[in-house]
Chain A
Amino acid sequence: MSNTKKMSISDIFGKLFRNQIFVPIAAMLILLIFNLIADPSFFRITLGYNSAGNPVLSGYLMTVLDCGSELAILAIGMTLVTAASGGQDISVGAGIAIAGSALLRVLCGNNTRPETLNAPIIVAFLVSVLVAMCFGAFNGCLVAFFKIQPMVATLILYTAGRSIAAWINNNELPIVSDATFSYIGGFIPGIPIPTPFFIAAACLLIIALVLKFTNLGLYTQAVGINESSSRLNGLNPTFIKWLSFVILGICVAVAALIKVSRLSSINYSVIAKDIEMDAILAVALGGNALSGGKFNMWASVMGAFVIQLLTTTLYKFNVQSDALPAYKAVVVILLVVFSSPVVREKMAQISKKMKSRKEAA
């Protein structure tokens, strides 16, 4: 009797361990526990008023929710690209610069310090979405039609993106003084929760609906796992890969909206710097294979917030922002080493040996 009960418990644990979402959740718990021990003030959330007199919640956890939003949005697109093409897009940071620049260009027109907005925010946003989709389509073309490895193909925009962004605004740095615009990256009056979080939630809802009411998930995974077989089942792998890059383009535009709104301006060389690394890391932390195939969107999104939690934790311990990449690089290397088939096989062999030794004893 007790034996069967034991079995079922280990079964439950086994199931949990095997579930993909376990990885980011475990990572998050470890980070939270670390913070709890090191300095519980990490968890303090206070209600205050910002300079405009609106109520805002502040605290490290709110920062994670706030700043993790763009990353979560990017993780959505990056997950799809990874799944379909088996590679990653490293031009998302540059893409944000472009989309953000286009957004400002429409908002401000030729005047860099407009008193009133030149166009409604929604129009500017749609234009920037269109621009970002075009650049996504460009990447997608190189990958899907010309069969260039995704990371190398996106290198082109990675190199040129920030320059293009600067060119769109003639290298000027427009500043938007409109208060409504700053709500997007800040707080809507009367609501103490940062707006980016709502935008991220909306994006998640949309992608959840898309995954539910279309075959995007099935097609993407099928193409990523077995391209030849997908083709024989009537799919068009080239188009699906291309589509994933276009969708990433939309995500980039949304992230750019938030980023630009935070500053009410743009800095071409700094905006969203190194965010591609974080986005890729989010996908990897979510337990998705970077070589493509099956994916779990929610694990990726979870991964994004874990990354932000890591960043915020590092900041709290006075790590300089420029030094952050070094720590994250170590995390990436550990992740890929432990998920590499070679290492896994070796570990399986070792554990087998240990087991057999145990049995012998």
Chain B
Amino acid sequence: MAKKLKNMSDSNLLLLITIVVFVLMYAGAIMFQGKGFLKPQTFFNILNANAALIILSCGLSLVMITGGIDISVGGMTALVSMCCAVYLDFKGGNVAVSMLIALCIGLAFGIVQGFLVAYLDIQPFIVTLAGMFFARGMTTIVNTNPFNVANENFVALKETRVIVPGMGSVNKLGKYVDAYVEIGVIVALIVVILMFLMLKYTKLGRAFYAVGGNKQSALMLGINVKRTKFLSHLICSILGAIGGYVYFLHVGSGAASHAQGAEMNAIASSIIGGTMLTGGVGNIVGTFFGVLSLSTIQNIVSSAGLDQAWWTGITIAAMLCIFLVIQSVVMARKHSQVKK
């Protein structure tokens, strides 16, 4: 067994840790927080509330696997929400066009940030930090006050519920209630599957890993390192826009304060999901479970009556810290083994 663990690839080892953590946590929640967590709908609600985060985390995992980082996705989410909200409400616009607007914002951010990072060789943290502040500032410039979108088509789309067959439960009045998920969850699942397939079964996907593993080697092995880095940022920003739109669909409003700290949650999810900050190691499935772990913790915290926003901040940071240190230690030990 020990030998098996040793021969396991870094990605799979960290993925295993993540899934174990999630299962333990959910089991713990069921044991200590009562039956609420047993209901499938509780689980689906976690998905509903975090569909956007799943998409954002997928993007971040990609960038981190390639050895970079992107902290502009939270700001982008706010910007996308606000721009689409303003377009739909004030201009009475079309829902499809609002999606296009979101996509364009993502493309613009992706191209600029990707170019600066990949071709001008500027630290990704600085570039995307500026991106984040730019997005937040622009959101306020577009519109200052938060407001709800009343556009009929949009509200209809927002209210659409996808019934999950066979997962319903009987409520207090003895009536059977179907379990449901929102459209965003479907989008998130599609993104997870597509990203998983892309990373695993395309040459480009493997190139992301190669570049993150060792830039110099990747170059020697015949990979276009700059283009790969550029694409990682481009895809991350596009996913940021999609995630932003899903967030918008979930909350149905535009506000400058939307998705505050979402980038930190996305990074934390990726790290908890087994993505290495140093690049080259990570797994989209792990990221998915990372988001679930994170949101389960948040749920536990709030249902334990500790309904204060600061508890979530502290727990997330504590988890992030623990996983970071574990990664640092695991990698250091692994390196020393190989050396011997």
Direct contact of A and B (CB under 8 A): yes
Smallest Cβ-Cβ distance to B75: which chain A residue: A325
Within 8 A of A (CB), among B127-159: 127, 129-134, 136-138, 140-141, 144
Given contacts A159-B261, A332-B130, A336-B122, contact A326 B317 (CB under 8 A): no
**B137→A166 contact, CB < 8 A:** no
Q: What A residues does B129 contact at CB under 8 A?
A: 90, 277, 280, 332
A326 and B133 within 8 A (CB): yes
> Taking the complex as formed, is A147 at the interface, i.e. its CB lies under 8 A from any CB of chain B?
yes
B16 at interface by CB-CB < 8 Å = no
Are A149 and B121 in contact (CB-based, < 8 A)?
A: no
Tell whether, in the assembled complex, residue A326 and residue B320 are in contact, meaning their CB atoms are under 8 Å apart.
no
Q: Is A198 an interface residue (CB 8 A)?
A: no
Q: How far is the CA of A38 from the CA of B201 in the complex (A)?
A: 59
Given A156-B324, A343-B120 in contact, is the A323-B313 Cβ separation under 8 Å?
no
Interface residue B241 (Cβ < 8 Å from any Cβ of A): no
Interface of A is mostly: helix
In this complex, which of B261, B264, B313, B314 has the most chain A Cβ atoms within 10 angstroms of its Cβ?
B313
Contacts of A157 in B (CB 8 A): 317
Q: Provided the pairs A148-B324, A152-B324, A158-B264 are in contact, do residues A325 and B134 lie with their beta carbons within 8 angstroms? A: yes
Alpha-carbon gap, A324 to B138, bound state (A):
9
Q: Is A164's CB under 8 angstroms from B130's CB?
A: no
Contacts of A332 in B (CB 8 A): 126, 129-130, 133
Q: How far is the CB of A91 from chain B (nearest CB, A)?
A: 10
Residues of chain A contacted by B328 (CB below 8 angstroms): 146-148
Residues of B within 8 A of A148 (CB): 277, 324, 328
Indicate the member of B119, B131, B264, B314 with the most A CB atoms within 10 Å: B314
Give the distance in Å from the alpha carbon of A323 to the alpha carbon of B78 in the complex. 13
**Of B26-34, B173-181, B202-210, B304-312, the one with at least 4 CB within 8 A of chain A:** B304-312
User: Taking the complex as formed, is B116 at the interface, i.e. its CB lies under 8 A from any CB of chain A?
Assistant: yes
Tell whether B90 is near chain A: CB-to-CB under 8 Å.
no
Task: List A307-361 residues whose CB lies under 8 Å from chain B.
Answer: 320, 322-330, 332-333, 336-337, 340-343
Q: Are A330 and B268 in contact (CB under 8 A)?
A: no
A337 near B324 with CB under 8 A, answer no
Assuming the A-B contacts A159-B313, A327-B137, are A340 and B261 also in contact, with contact meaning beta carbons closer than 8 angstroms in the complex? no
Residues of A within 8 A of B127 (CB): 333, 336
A330 is contacted by which of B116, B134, B264 (Cβ under 8 Å)? Answer: B134
Question: Do B324 and A146 have beta carbons less than 8 Å apart?
Answer: yes
Q: Kindly report which residue of chain A lies nearest to residue B69, judged by CB atoms.
A: A152
Is residue B318 contacting chain A, with contact meaning CB distance below 8 A? yes
- Asked if A162 contacts B310 (CB within 8 A), the reply is yes
Task: Give the size range of A's interface with the partner.
Answer: 35 or more
How many angstroms from the CA of A343 to the CA of B320 in the assembled complex?
36
Give bound CA distance, A158 to B132, whole Å.
15
Q: From B261, which residue of chain A is reached at the shortest CB distance?
A: A159
Which single member of A158, A159, A171, A323 contacts B141 (CB below 8 Å)?
A323
Distance, CA A95 to CA B303, complexed state (A):
29
Tell me if B144 and A322 are in contact (CB < 8 A): yes
Which residues of B lie under 8 Å from residue A87 when comparing CB positions? 125
Closest to A166 in B: B310
Within 8 A of B (CB), among A279-305: 280, 290-291
Q: Which of B133, B138, B277, B311 is most buried by chain A, counting CB atoms within 10 A of its CB? A: B133
- With A163-B314, A332-B130 as contacts: A142 and B136 at CB distance below 8 Å: no
Closest to A146 in B: B328
Judge whether B267 is part of the interface by a CB distance below 8 angstroms: yes
B318 touches A340 (CB 8 A): no
Shortest CB–CB separation between residue B308 and chain A, in angstroms? Answer: 6
Instruction: Judge whether B197 is part of the interface by a CB distance below 8 angstroms.
Output: no
Which residue from chain B places its CB closest to the CB of A268 in the assembled complex? B310
Minimum CB–CB distance from A255 to chain B (whole Å) comes to 20
Complex contacts, B259 vs chain A, CB 8 Å: none
Check B137 against A163 for contact (C-beta < 8 Å): no
The answer to the question of B53 belonging to the interface, with a C-beta cut-off of 8 Å to chain A, is no
The answer to whether B316 and A159 have CB atoms under 8 Å apart is yes
Confirm or deny: B63 has a beta carbon within 8 angstroms of a beta carbon on chain A.
no
Instruction: Collect the chain A residues with CB atoms within 8 Å of residue B313's CB.
Output: 159-160, 162-164
The answer to the question of B123 belonging to the interface, with a C-beta cut-off of 8 Å to chain A, is yes
Chain B, residue nearest A167 (CB): B310
B251 touches A (CB below 8 Å):
no
Q: Is the CB of B121 within 8 A of A333?
A: no
Chain B residues, CB < 8 A from A333: 116, 127, 130, 134
Q: Complex Cα distance A341/B121, Å?
A: 8
Residue in B125, B256, B324 whose beta carbon sits within 8 Å of that of A142 in the complex: B324
Residues of chain B contacted by A327 (CB below 8 angstroms): 137
Q: Which B293-339 residues sit within 8 Å CB-CB of chain A?
A: 308-314, 316-318, 320-321, 324-325, 328-329
- A342–B264 contact, CB under 8 A? no
Please give the distance in Å from A96's CB to the nearest CB on chain B: 16
Contact residues, A155-183 vs B (CB, 8 A): 155-160, 162-164, 166-167, 171
Q: Which residues of A contact B267 (CB under 8 A)?
A: 152, 155
Q: How far is the CA of A250 from the CA of B140 in the complex (A)?
A: 34
User: Can you give 9 A-B contacts (C-beta < 8 A)?
Assistant: A152-B125, A159-B264, A166-B308, A280-B126, A329-B131, A333-B134, A337-B120, A337-B122, A343-B120
New A-B pairs, 13, CB < 8 Å, besides A164-B310, A322-B136: A142-B325, A151-B125, A157-B317, A159-B317, A166-B308, A167-B310, A171-B308, A171-B310, A320-B144, A325-B137, A340-B121, A342-B120, A342-B121
